[in-house]
Structure 1
Amino acid sequence: MADRLARFAVLPAAVRLLIAALAGAVGALGQAPFGIWPATLAALAVAMLIHASAYNARQAALMAWGFGIGYFGLALHWIVEPFLVDITRHGWMAPFALILMAGGAALFWALAAYLAARMRPGSALLFGLALVWAEITRSLIFTGFPWALLGHVWIGTDMAQWAAFGGPHLLSLITAISAWSLVLLYRRRWLAGGGLVLALFVAGFALRAPMTEAAEDAPVIRLVQPNAPQHQKWDPAFRQLFMDRMVVMTAAEEVPDLVVWPETAIPSLLNYIEADMQPLADAARGAPLVFGIQRRDDVGRFYNSLVVMDGVGGVHALYDKQHLVPFGEYIPGGAVAERLGLRGLAAQMGGFTPGHAPGPVDLPGIGQAVPLICYEGIFAEEITRGDDPQLLLLITNDAWFGRAAGPYQHLAQARLRAIEQGLPMVRVANTGVSAMIDPWGQIVADLPLGIDGFIDVPLPAPRMETYYVRWGDGPVFGLMTLLTLLCFAVARRNSD
C-alpha cells in the first residue's frame, strides 16, 4: 500500500492534479440531488491518502485544491443558472462564475491541507479535521457561504438527526471521521477502523426520526406555487397571468387557516398596493395571507420583504430580509459599483438594503413564526427564534437556480434547519420545490419542481427545544479544538 502511494507521488503534477479533481467530483455525488453519501466518504478517504503521500506542504495544498475544484465544480454547477436568465446581458459571466466559485471555495481546502501538512506531514486525520475547520471558515467569512458542506451529504439519512445536537458542522466532523475510518481499513488497521465503522453505524441508527402525524386540530396551511419562470416573472406580458393563478388557487376549495405565497410573489412594490389589498383578502376569504414583495422606504431604500396580511386586507406583520446575496441583491462596495454601472442580478431597482428587525412574526390564529427569505435559510447560526415559535416560515424564488441541482440542494438545507431547530418548516418556492417539513426534517407533503399548484397540509407540532438551539456551534467548536490538539500531540510520535 505504501508502494502505491509512492508511485502516485512520482506521477507528473498535472496527472496527480487531474486524479485529485476526479476524486473530488466523485465526492460531490453525496450532495443533492444524487445523495450517494458512500461516494463522498470513499472520495474523501482517497483525498486523505493523497494528502499522506505529499512530499511537502505545498504539494499537499495543490492536491487538496484540485480535489476541491472537482468537488465544488460539480456540486455548485448550478451557479451558472442566474446568469442565463438574461443571457444577452449576463451570459458571458456564467463560466467565470463557476470557475471563480469552485476555485475560490477550493482555496479554503488548500489552505487547510497546507497547515495540516506543516503541523504534521502525512497525518490523514489531521487533514480531515483541517477540512472541517475550512468548512466552518467558509460558512462564516465574507458573509459566509455554507452551501454543499461536507456534512450535507447526510441529509435524508438517520445520521442527519445529529444536527439537533451540533448543527451542520457536527455532521461535517462525522463525515471526516467516517472517511478516516476507511483510511484505517485500507491500511489494515482492522481493529481501530472496524471499531470506528461499527460506532458510526450505531450512531446512524441511534436517532431514527419517528413517523409523525399532525394533531386533529392542527392548523391547515395552504402552500401556493405559481411556477413563474424567472425570465417571465417581471415581464409585463405575464405578470397578471401569474397573479391570477395565485388568486384562483387561494380562493379554491375550503378555506385554510393560512395561505402562503413565495418570495416576490407580487411583482410590484408594497407601496403601490398596500392601500388596497381587498382583492387579496377576498381570495383568502378571511384567512391570513403571507406573500413576498419588494418595498421602498421613505428615503428611497429598497427591501426584499415578507408580508403577513390579515383577514381584512391590512398589513399585520412585516419582515425585511436581513442576509442579502452578495452580487445578487447587492454589490459589495455598492457606492463605487453603482458609479461603474454594476448592480445586483436580482435587484430590479438597483440593489436592496438589509432589514434590521429580526423575527419572529405573528401569524393570526397560529402563533409565532421564524421568517426566512430564500438565502437566509442556509445559515444555521443566524436563525432568531424569539419566544415559543411554532414553525419556520421560508419563502423563496428558486427559479434562479434552474432545474438541476440547485433547488434540491436548497430544499435539503431547509430540512436540516428543521432538524436543528426542532420546528416544522413551511417552505414555499416560486417554481418549487414547495414543501411541509416536519421537525425531524422529513417531507410531509410537497409540490414538485416546475409545476403550478397548491396543497393544504396540517402543521406538525414542534419538538422540544434542541441542544443546538440551546448551545449553538460552541460545543462543536470546542470538540474540534480538542480533537485537533489531541491529534497533533499524538501525531508527533506516531503516524495515524
Structure 2
Amino acid sequence: MILRRRTQTATAPDPALRGTRPSPIGLALAAIAGAASLFSFEPFGWWPLQFLCLAYFFYQVGMGSSPRRALWLGWAFGFGWSIGGMHWLYIALNRFGGLAAPLSAAAIALLGLYMGLFAAFAAGASSWLRKRWSLPVPAFLLLVFPVLWGVSEWMRGWVFTGFPWAASGYAHNTAPLAGFAPILGVYGIGVLVALCASCLVMLTQRRRLPALGLAAGVLLAGWGLGHVEWTHPAGQPISVRLLQGDIRQDEKFASAYLNQILTRYRDMITAAPADLIAAPETAIPVFPQQLPPDYLAGFGDYAKRSGSFLMFGIPLADGPDAYANSVAGIGPQGQTYRYDKHHLVPFGEFIPAGFRWFTNLMNIPLGDFTRGQAVQAPFAVKDQLVLPNVCYEDVFGEEIARQLRDAPRPATLLLNVSNLAWYGESVAIPQHLQISRMRSLETGRPMLRATNNGATAIIDGRGNVQQVIPYYRQDVLTARVQGMAGSTPYIRFGNLAFLALGALMLLGAWLTGRSRRMPKKSDQTAG
C-alpha cells in the first residue's frame, strides 16, 4: 500500500490524457502566441513579452502533452513566430520581385510552415524525452525544453544554408541576458530565455519560489557579466564617413538611373576626406567593365590626394559565369582590396537545385553569385584592420567568430554593408540593426554599418548604438572609432560553449529520470 501511494505521487501526468492532436483553436492560439513574439524585437523592443509567449507555449506542451500533440503545437507556434518575424519578405517578392500577390503570400506561408518544423522538433523531441526518461515536470521544463528550444534555433541557422533571423536571443541585446553573449552567443541566450520562460510556467506548480529564484539568478548573472571587459583598445582611433545614398530599389538596377546613381556616390565619396570612407552593398550596381573608363581611376586619385581609404560594394566578375557580391577597397598608396560575400541568400544570390522555375517568376538581377572564401583577410586602414560582411552575413555570428579566430591578423573593426531597400518601410531595418548589435556583443568589436537606406550606424564593442542616421534619407555619418583587439570566449569556441551547456543540462535531466526509475532500498524492503 505504501509502495502504491509513492508510485502514484511520483507519476507525471499521463500524456495520453490530452490526445494526439490539439484542437483548431489550440493551434490558432499557439500560432498567435508565436506571432506576438514580433513585438519583443525592434522597433518595439518589448523583450519581457517574449518570456510570456514562450511560457504559454511551454505550458501547453508541458502539462501532459503526448509527443505527437506537442509536435503539432510546436509547428503552429513556430509558424506564427516565423510569419511574425519575417513577413517583410513578402515586399521583396511582390513589390520588387514582380511575383503575383497570391504567389508571394503562398511563398511566405510555405516558408513559415518549413520554419515551424524547428519549433515542432523542439516540442516533440522534448515531450518524447520526457516520456522515455520518466521526467518530473521541473526537470522537463527547466532542463530539457530550454535546451531543445536553443538547439532548434541553432539548427535553423545552418540546415539548408540556414535562416536564423528572429532567433529569440536577439530580443535581449539591451536586456540583462546580453551579458552572456560574449560567452554563449545568441543561441545560448536563447536557451536562457527559454529557461526563464519555463520558470514562469513553474508558477503553476508547487515549487514556485525556487523557480523564481533561478530566473532572478540568471538575470542577475547576465547583468554582472555585462560589466566584464573582454577586449581592449588597439591602435589609434580612425575617422570614418559612412554613406547612405537612399537609392530606390526600383531604380537601383535600372539603366535609366545608372548615371544618377554613379554620380551620387562619386559625389558623396569625394565630398570630404576621412581615414575610412565606406559605401553600401552594390553602391556601384554594375561591373567595373561597364563603368565609364575614368570612374574607378577617379576614386584612386581621390584616395591618394586625400589620404583616405575607400570601401564600397560592387559586383566583381572572374569570368562570364563567375561573379561575386563584393566589397572593393582602395588605399592612398595604391593598395587594393577585395572581399567576396561568403554566405549567400537562397533565391536572391544563388538558386537552390530544382528551384530555377521559382526564380524565373521574379525579376531579381544577378541571381546566382559565386561564393567567397570562409576566411578572408581584413583591410588595413592605418592602425585598424577592417573586416567587411555583406548584408545578412552578419546574421551568422559563428562565421564572423571563425573569421576572427582563424585569421592570421584578426580584425579590430567590423563593417557591414547592406541594401535593405528590398523590404520597403518594414521592420527589417531595425531588426537588422539589432542583429549587428549582437555581433558586437559576441565579439567585443565595434560594428560600422554603411547601408543604402538604413540603418547606417556605429555600434561600439559593447553593442551600444553610438550614432545612427534616420532611415530612408540620403545622408553621411561622420565619427571617430576606436578598434578593439582580444578574444571573447565566443570567438575562441563559437557555439561549442552553448552546446556544452545544453549537454550538461540534458545529462542532469537524464540522471534525474534515472534516479526516479531506480527502486529505492526502502521500497525493496517494503516489498
Q: TM-score, normalised by structure 1?
A: 0.90
SS in 1 for 2:121: helix
Query: Residue 347 of structure 1: CA displacement?
Result: 5.4
- RMSD over aligned Cα atoms: 3.0
| Alpha-carbon spacing, 1:93–1:214, altered in 2? closer, same or farther (3 Å) | farther
SS in 1 for 2:123: helix
CA contact under 8 A between 1:359 and 1:369: conserved in structure 2?
Answer: no
- Deviations for 1:129-149, whole angstroms, at most 9, x for unmatched residues? 221111111112111111111
| Alpha-carbon spacing, 1:45–1:491, altered in 2? closer, same or farther (3 Å) | farther
| Alpha-carbon spacing, 1:73–1:491, altered in 2? closer, same or farther (3 Å) | farther
Query: Residue 10 of structure 1: CA displacement?
Result: 11
| Alpha-carbon spacing, 1:220–1:55, altered in 2? closer, same or farther (3 Å) | closer
From 472, 487, 490, the equivalent of 2:494 is: 472
Query: Residue 224 of structure 1: CA displacement?
Result: 0.4
Query: Residue 258 of structure 1: CA displacement?
Result: 1.1
**Structure 2 residue aligned with 1:302:** 323
1-structure distance, mates of 2:352, 2:39: 32
| Alpha-carbon spacing, 1:180–1:287, altered in 2? closer, same or farther (3 Å) | same
| Alpha-carbon spacing, 1:76–1:7, altered in 2? closer, same or farther (3 Å) | farther
Which segment drifts farther, 117-126 or 179-188? 117-126
**Structure 2 residue aligned with 1:265:** 283
1:22 matches 2:21: no
SS in 2 for 1:120: helix
Superposition pairs of residues 313-332 of structure 1, within 5 angstroms: 316-332=336-352
1:457 matches 2:497: no
* Equivalenced residues, count: 488
From 458, 483, 486, the equivalent of 2:505 is: 483
1:224 matches 2:243: yes
From 78, 93, 112, the equivalent of 2:88 is: 78
1:132 matches 2:150: yes
From 61, 74, 86, the equivalent of 1:51 is: 61
CA contact under 8 A between 1:271 and 1:295: conserved in structure 2?
Answer: no
**Structure 2 residue aligned with 1:280:** 299
**Structure 2 residue aligned with 1:198:** 216
CA contact under 8 A between 2:74 and 2:116: conserved in structure 1?
Answer: yes
**Structure 1 residue aligned with 2:74:** 64
| Alpha-carbon spacing, 1:455–1:282, altered in 2? closer, same or farther (3 Å) | farther
Superposition pairs of residues 139-178 of structure 1, within 5 angstroms: 139-178=157-196
Look at both structures and tell me which one has the larger radius of gyration over its CA atoms. Answer: 2
- Deviations for 1:256-309, whole angstroms, at most 9, x for unmatched residues? 111000000012102334963233345553412101011221353121111002
- Deviations for 1:453-495, whole angstroms, at most 9, x for unmatched residues? 0011111231532111112111221110121121233246669
**Structure 2 residue aligned with 1:423:** 445
From 208, 225, 228, the equivalent of 1:207 is: 225
1:401 matches 2:411: no
Query: Residue 311 of structure 1: CA displacement?
Result: 2.9
| Alpha-carbon spacing, 1:217–1:57, altered in 2? closer, same or farther (3 Å) | closer
Query: Residue 24 of structure 1: CA displacement?
Result: 1.4
Q: Which amino acid aligns with 1:432?
A: G
2-structure distance, mates of 1:182, 1:375: 34
SS in 1 for 2:505: helix
Q: Which amino acid aligns with 1:310?
A: G
CA contact under 8 A between 2:234 and 2:384: conserved in structure 1?
Answer: no
**Structure 1 residue aligned with 2:134:** none
Which segment drifts farther, 7-16 or 456-465? 7-16
Query: Residue 90 of structure 1: CA displacement?
Result: 5.3
- Deviations for 1:205-253, whole angstroms, at most 9, x for unmatched residues? 2133699999995210100000112111112232222332222222334
From 352, 377, 383, the equivalent of 1:360 is: 377
| Alpha-carbon spacing, 1:373–1:411, altered in 2? closer, same or farther (3 Å) | same
2-structure distance, mates of 1:306, 1:67: 39
- Deviations for 1:380-410, whole angstroms, at most 9, x for unmatched residues? 1112122232211211111122222111111
- Deviations for 1:319-366, whole angstroms, at most 9, x for unmatched residues? 111111111111112xx655x584596852452111237322323424
From 268, 272, 276, the equivalent of 1:249 is: 268
Q: TM-score, normalised by structure 2?
A: 0.85
Which segment drifts farther, 61-70 or 243-252? 243-252
2-structure distance, mates of 1:159, 1:142: 29
- Deviations for 1:169-223, whole angstroms, at most 9, x for unmatched residues? 1111110111111112232423311211220231232133699999995210100
1-structure distance, mates of 2:213, 2:342: 45
Percentage of pairs with the same residue: 30
1-structure distance, mates of 2:122, 2:109: 20
CA contact under 8 A between 2:244 and 2:450: conserved in structure 1?
Answer: yes
| Alpha-carbon spacing, 1:9–1:328, altered in 2? closer, same or farther (3 Å) | same
SS in 1 for 2:201: helix
1-structure distance, mates of 2:345, 2:447: 22
Q: Which amino acid aligns with 1:247?
A: R
**Structure 2 residue aligned with 1:239:** 258
CA contact under 8 A between 1:162 and 1:207: conserved in structure 2?
Answer: yes
